[in-house]
Amino acid sequence: MNKVEIKLFASLRKYHPNSGDSEAFTMDLNDKTSLGNLIDKLKVPRQEIGVLMVNGTWQKENYLLQDEDRVGLFPLIGGG
Amino acid sequence: MSKILRVNMTNLTAKLEDVPSKYRLMGGRGLTSAVTSDEVPPTCHPLGPNNKVTYAPGIVTGSGAPTAGRLSIGAKSPLTGTIKESNAGGIAADKLARIGIKAIIVEGQPKEKGKFWVLKVDKSGAELMPAAAEWVGKGLYEAYPKMLKKFGDKVGIISIGVAGEKLMAMSGICVNDPENRPSRYAGRGGLGAVMGSKGLKAIVVDDAGGASLALANKEAFDTGRKKMTDALLQHDITKPGGALNTYGTAVCVAVINEAGALPTRNFSSGRFEGASKISGEMINETCKKRGGVGMTGHRCSPGCIIQCSNVYPKEDGTELVSCQEYESLWSFGANCGIDSLDVIGELIRLCNDYGVDTIEAGATIGVAMEAGLAKFGDGKKAVELMHEIGKGTLLGHILGGGTALTADTFGVVRCPTVKRQAMPAYEPRAIKGIGVTYATSTMGADHTAGYTIAPEIFGVSGKVDQFIVEKADMSRNFQYVTAFLDATGHCLFVSFAILDIASGLEGMVEECNGVLGTNWTVDDIGRIGGDIVKKERAFNEAAGFAKVDDRVPEFMKYEKLPPHNVVFDVPDEVLDKVHNP
C-alpha cells in the first residue's frame, strides 16, 4: 500500500471527501495505482482539470503513484 | 485626427502636434519605446533634463475592444538605467483615447526645484497649473479626493505619490480605478521619480465631449472584437466565473507554491508554509465571510470582461484595500514570511498611498529582513519600514531606492534582481524559462515581458517541463508577442485565452486593422513585436548594457533552492541566444 497526500485547489475543492474543504488529505492506495486511477476514485471530471502535479512538478495520468507522493490537482488557472 | 501632446516643463508650455507618419501605426508600448528611443539620449541621467516620459493608450484603447484599457508609460528608468515601459489599468487611458490624444510627451525640467505642477487635458487642449499645496506631500488616499473635488469626479488622474516627489527609484505612477481609488499602477522601474524630476505631480484627463476611436475599417474591427470577446468569454481562465474572475490573480499562489517556485523569505526557499493563508481561495472566502464591501470579480478598467481585481474588506466589512494581487501578496507575504492577508493588505495600501511599486517594495523589505532590520514574519516592523519610505527619512531613501540599493547598503549577497530591478513572484531556479526572460528582458527582471509560466506551469499553449533549460526560443517568442500585445492596449491576461483559442488571436489583429486600416495577419505579430524589442535593446546597448548584464544573480548559481534543490543551470549561451538567434 502507498500512502499518498492529496490537495485539491480552487474550484476542484468541491471534490474533497469533505466537500469544499481545502485541507490536504491522505489515501491508502494499492501499488500500481496511477494518477488517472486516483482521479477516477475522486470523481473529478477530466474537463475540469487544468494542472496535475506530483511532488511539485507536472505528471501525466499514467504516472504510477509512490509511497509518500504529494499530489495537487488544479483547474485551468492563470494570472499573476 | 489624434494628436500628440508635447509638454515642456522648462518653459511650462503644452502644445498639440500632428502625429508623425512613422508613429501612425503605433500605440501603447510600441509608441512609448519609439519616442524614448528617438528622443532620449541613452546615456542621459534618468532624473536630468534630457530624459522624457511618454504616456500612450494602446492602439485599440477607447475603441470598445474588450479588456483594452491599458496606459503605457515609458522613459529611461532610474532603477535600471535601461529603457522602460510599464503599463497600468484604471480609467485614464480610455479617456485619453476618447479625446484623441495618442501620446503625451513630457520633457525638460523646471528651473525651480521642489515645486509641482498639474497638467489638465481635455477636448479643447491642455494647460499647466501649479499643484495646490493640499495635493503635494500627502498620501494619495488623501490627495485623490481633493484633486477630484477640484476637477470633478469623472476625470482620470495619472499621479505620483510622495515617493515620486522625493525621486525614489521604486516609485510608480498611479491611475484611479472606476470607483476613483488610487490603486492601479504603472509600478515598475521608478517612472514616478522621472515624473517627479519634471515637477509634474499629476495629469488630469477630462473626456467630456469625447468619442470612441474613429475606425478605418468598421467591418474588420467588429469581426475582430467579436472574436476576441468570444475567446475571453469561452476560456476557463478568463470567462465570467472562471479562475481569474473568481479568485483573482492570487489563484496563482497555490500552484506556484506547489511547483516549489514561490520565492520565500528573500528567495531562500520555493515553498511557503503559510501559502494557503494568502491564497486566492482565502481571499474569496474572506470576502464572502466578512461581507460588506468585500468582493472578487472587480474590474480595474472600463470594458474589461475578465474582471480579476478585488476589494478586500476589514473584519467589520469596511474597505481595507483594493487590490490584493498575486504579486503583492507574494512580495509582502511569502517573500517576507508574512501569512496574514490583513497585514499584507495594509502594506499594499501603504504602497498605493505613498506611490511605490509593490513588487519592488516587498522584495526590498525581504532584503531588509535578511539584513536584520526586521525578523521575517514581523508584519508590524514591515509596516514601520514602509512608513520610513513615506516620511523620506535617510533609511526611507535607502529602502525607497529599491532592492539592489538596499542590498548594497547592508551587504546582502542574496539580492534577487536583474539590472537592479527586483524579481517578481516566480523562482527562476525552479522555472527555467521565466529565468531566461528575467535575464534577457529589455526591462530588467520582469515576468510580464515574456510570461513563459503559461506553458511551464499552467499548460496554456501546450505544456513544457519547468526544468528544461533550452528555452531561448520560447522566451524570445513570448517577448515578441507580449511587445505586440502591450502595443494594442489589451491587458496581458487576454493572452491566456488567445494563446489557446486561435480565433481570439486573429481577433486581436483584426481589431488593430479596424482601427488603423492595416492588413496585418497573425504572422505579423512576431515581426511587429520583435521590432519593438529590438528597438528597446538597441537603446540599452547604447546606454552601456552588454551580454554580462543578461544574467541572474550569482547566488542562484550556487545556492540550491528547496524543495527541488535546484540551482539556476541555464547556460549563458542559451541566454545569449535569446536576442542573437
pLDDT in tens, B499-511: 999 999 999 999 9
Instruction: With respect to residue A22, please indicate whether it lies within any of the assigned structural domains.
Output: yes
- Which pLDDT belongs to residue A21? 80
Domain that holds residue B156: 3-205
Instruction: With respect to residue A51, please indicate whether it lies within any of the assigned structural domains.
Output: yes
Task: Find chain B residues with C-beta within 8 A of A53's C-beta.
Answer: 255, 258-259
Residues 6 or more apart whose Cβ sits within 8 Å of residue B181: B144, B322, B352
Task: Find chain A residues with C-beta within 8 A of B460's C-beta.
Answer: 76, 78
- Which pLDDT belongs to residue B176? 98
CB pairs under 8 A between A and B: 100
Nearest CA in chain A to B306: A79
* pLDDT tens sequence across B68-84: 999 999 999 999 999 99
- Which pLDDT belongs to residue B461? 87
Domain that holds residue A18: 2-74
Choose from B236, B284, B448 for mutation: most chain A CBs within 10 A. B236
| CA-based nearest residue to B446, from B103, B87, B143 | B87
- Which pLDDT belongs to residue A79? 86
CA distance A6 to chain B (A): 12
Instruction: With respect to residue B250, please indicate whether it lies within any of the assigned structural domains.
Output: no
CA distance A7 to chain B (A): 10
CATH number at residue A42: 3.10.20.30
Task: Find chain B residues with C-beta within 8 A of A13's C-beta.
Answer: 281
Are B48 and B110 contacting, i.e. CB atoms less than 8 angstroms apart?
A: no
Whether the pLDDT of residue A58 is over 90: the answer is yes
Residues 6 or more apart whose Cβ sits within 8 Å of residue A52: A35, A58, A59, A60, A61, A71, A72, A73, A74
Q: How far is CA B400 from CA B139, B335, B392, in A?
A: 15, 18, 8
Instruction: With respect to residue B511, please indicate whether it lies within any of the assigned structural domains.
Output: no
Whether residue A56 and residue B276 make contact (CB cut-off 8 A), yes or no, is: no
Whether residue A58 and residue B454 make contact (CB cut-off 8 A), yes or no, is: no
Chain centroid to CA B51: 20
Mean pLDDT by 10 residues, chain B (581 residues): 95 98 98 99 98 98 98 99 98 98 98 94 97 98 98 98 98 98 98 98 98 97 98 97 97 98 98 98 97 98 97 98 98 98 98 98 99 98 98 98 98 98 98 98 98 96 95 98 98 96 98 98 98 98 98 98 98 98 93
CATH number at residue B14: 3.60.9.10
Nearest CA in chain B to A9: B254
Whether residue A76 and residue B246 make contact (CB cut-off 8 A), yes or no, is: no
Instruction: With respect to residue B69, please indicate whether it lies within any of the assigned structural domains.
Output: yes
CA distance B2 to chain A (A): 33
Task: Find chain A residues with C-beta within 8 A of B258's C-beta.
Answer: 7, 9, 53, 56, 72, 74
| CA-based nearest residue to B204, from B164, B133, B149 | B149
- Which pLDDT belongs to residue B464? 96
Please enumerate residues of B whose Cβ is less than 8 A from a Cβ of A: 235-237, 243-244, 246-252, 254-256, 258-260, 271, 276, 280-281, 308, 326-327, 424-426, 430, 447, 451, 453-454, 457-460, 463, 465-467, 493, 496, 563-564
Whether residue B254 and residue A76 make contact (CB cut-off 8 A), yes or no, is: no
Nearest CA in chain A to B241: A11
- Which pLDDT belongs to residue A20? 78
Whether residue B252 and residue A13 make contact (CB cut-off 8 A), yes or no, is: no
Q: How far is CA B398 from CA B42, B150, B320, B374, B424, in A?
A: 25, 35, 28, 15, 20
* pLDDT tens sequence across B402-428: 999 999 999 999 999 999 999 999 999
Instruction: With respect to residue B79, please indicate whether it lies within any of the assigned structural domains.
Output: yes
Domain total of chain A: 1
Residue A64 DSSP class: B
Task: Find chain B residues with C-beta within 8 A of A7's C-beta.
Answer: 258
- Which pLDDT belongs to residue B157? 98
Q: Hey, what amino acid is at B557?
A: K
Instruction: With respect to residue B141, please indicate whether it lies within any of the assigned structural domains.
Output: yes
- Which pLDDT belongs to residue B432? 98
Per the rule left: phi > 0, alpha: psi between -120 and 50, beta: everything else, B402 is: left
Whether residue B244 and residue A56 make contact (CB cut-off 8 A), yes or no, is: no
- HEC string of B62-128? CCCCCCCCCEEEEEECCCCCCEEEEEECCCHHHHHHHCCEEEEEEECCCCCCCCCEEEEEECCEEEE
- Which pLDDT belongs to residue A23? 87
Instruction: With respect to residue A80, please indicate whether it lies within any of the assigned structural domains.
Output: no
Local structure of B422: helix, strand or coil: strand
Prediction pTM value: 0.98
Task: Find chain A residues with C-beta within 8 A of B260's C-beta.
Answer: 56-57
Task: Find chain B residues with C-beta within 8 A of A22's C-beta.
Answer: 276, 281
Nearest CA in chain A to B247: A10
Task: Find chain A residues with C-beta within 8 A of B304's C-beta.
Answer: none
Q: Which residue has the cell 477516477?
A: A40
* Model ipTM over 0.85: yes
Whether the pLDDT of residue A19 is over 90: the answer is no
Gap between the Cα atoms of B354 and B237, Å rounded: 32
Q: Which residue has the cell 483594452?
A: B68
More confident residue, B70 or A80: B70
CB nearest to B463's CB, from A58, A72, A79: A58
Nearest CA in chain B to A74: B255
Instruction: With respect to residue A9, please indicate whether it lies within any of the assigned structural domains.
Output: yes
Nearest CA in chain B to A11: B243
* E-only strand ranges, B395-502: 417-418, 421-422
Domain total of chain B: 1
pLDDT tier, A22 (very low <50, low <70, confident <90, very high otherwise): confident
Instruction: With respect to residue B121, please indicate whether it lies within any of the assigned structural domains.
Output: yes
Other Cβ atoms closer than 10 A to B43: 11
Task: Find chain B residues with C-beta within 8 A of A74's C-beta.
Answer: 254-255, 258
Whether residue B457 and residue A56 make contact (CB cut-off 8 A), yes or no, is: no
Instruction: With respect to residue B135, please indicate whether it lies within any of the assigned structural domains.
Output: yes
pLDDT tier, A80 (very low <50, low <70, confident <90, very high otherwise): confident
